Amino acid sequence: MDNLSDLNENKALLQKAHEVLSNSYSPYSNFKVAAAILTQSGKIFTGVNIENLSYPAGICAERCAMSKAISEGEKIFKKIAVVSSANTFTYPCGICRQFMSEFMNNDSEIILSDNDIIKVFKFSEIMPYAFDSDF
Ligand code: THU
């Protein structure tokens, strides 16, 4: 894919995430997060953070989107865009990176934005030396 269509794809994915940001259930942190995944087969799945009065029961937007995709039979993710109410670059937390490591290739991409600025990372950049095992 050339640079322009890549940029358009990234913008479209960020837009999809922005569209569901208001669905975030985050009354405890007041920090809304949304994610949109483009799977290898070309489907898009979105997710939001869902908090709980029992704090650890909450789930991040990225794992919400990944769970939706996986439960629909999608197991390889090409890209994931993440946005938040902070309107600044919102990097996936460590638990989400570990969760992603099962479903992303090293060249799968993380798309973040700060209003007009878009940053693109390879998964291997944000998750070097990921846990691996033969069992
Ligand atoms: N959160 C996410 O949804 N994704 C992340 O990668 C980091 C944190 C959520 C969890 C919680 O609902 C809120 O942001 C504040 O930590």
pLDDT tens digits, one per residue of 58-89: 999 999 999 999 999 999 999 999 999 998 99
Instruction: Decide if 133 is inside a domain.
Output: no
Does the residue 88 lie in any domain? yes
Q: Which of 21, 26, 31 to mutate to test the pocket of ligand 1 (most atoms within 8 A of CB)?
A: 31
In a domain, 13, yes or no: yes
CA 96 to centroid of ligand 1, rounded, Å: 10
Is residue 75 a part of any domain in this protein? yes
Q: Which domain holds residue 53?
A: 3-126
Q: Which atom of ligand 1 is nearest to the CA of 93?
A: 6
| pTM of the complete model | 0.95
Residue 70 lies in a domain: yes
Q: Check if 62 is active-site.
A: yes
Residue 134 counted as domain residue:
no
Give the number of other Cβ atoms within 10 Å of residue 25's Cβ. Answer: 13
CATH of residue 20's domain is: 3.40.140.10
70 C-alpha to ligand 1 centroid (Å): 20
Residue 131 lies in a domain: no
Which pLDDT belongs to residue 57?
98
Chain segment 81-99, per-residue pLDDT in tens: 999 999 899 999 999 999 9
Ligand 1: residues within 6 Å at CB?
26, 29, 31, 33, 49, 51, 58, 60-62, 92-93, 96
Residue nearest (by alpha carbon) to ligand 1 atom 8: 60
Q: Are 77 and 100 in contact (CB under 8 A)?
A: yes
Averaged pLDDT for residues 45-51 = 98
Q: Name the pLDDT band for 35 (thresholds 50, 70, 90).
A: very high
Q: For the chain, what is the domain count? A: 1
The answer to whether 97 and 116 are in contact (CB under 8 A) is no
Looking at the predicted structure, is the pLDDT value of residue 2 above 80? no
Closest among 27, 36, 34 to 9, alpha carbons compared = 36
State pLDDT tens for residues 92-121. 999 999 999 999 998 899 999 998 899 999
Answer yes or no: is 132 within a domain.
Answer: no
Query: To which residue do tokens 């995944």 refer?
Result: 37
Cα(35)–Cα(17) distance, integer angstroms: 5
C-beta of residue 82 within 8 angstroms of C-beta of residue 17: yes
Q: In what order do the strands lie in the sheet with 33-39?
A: 44-48, 33-39, 77-84, 104-114, 117-122
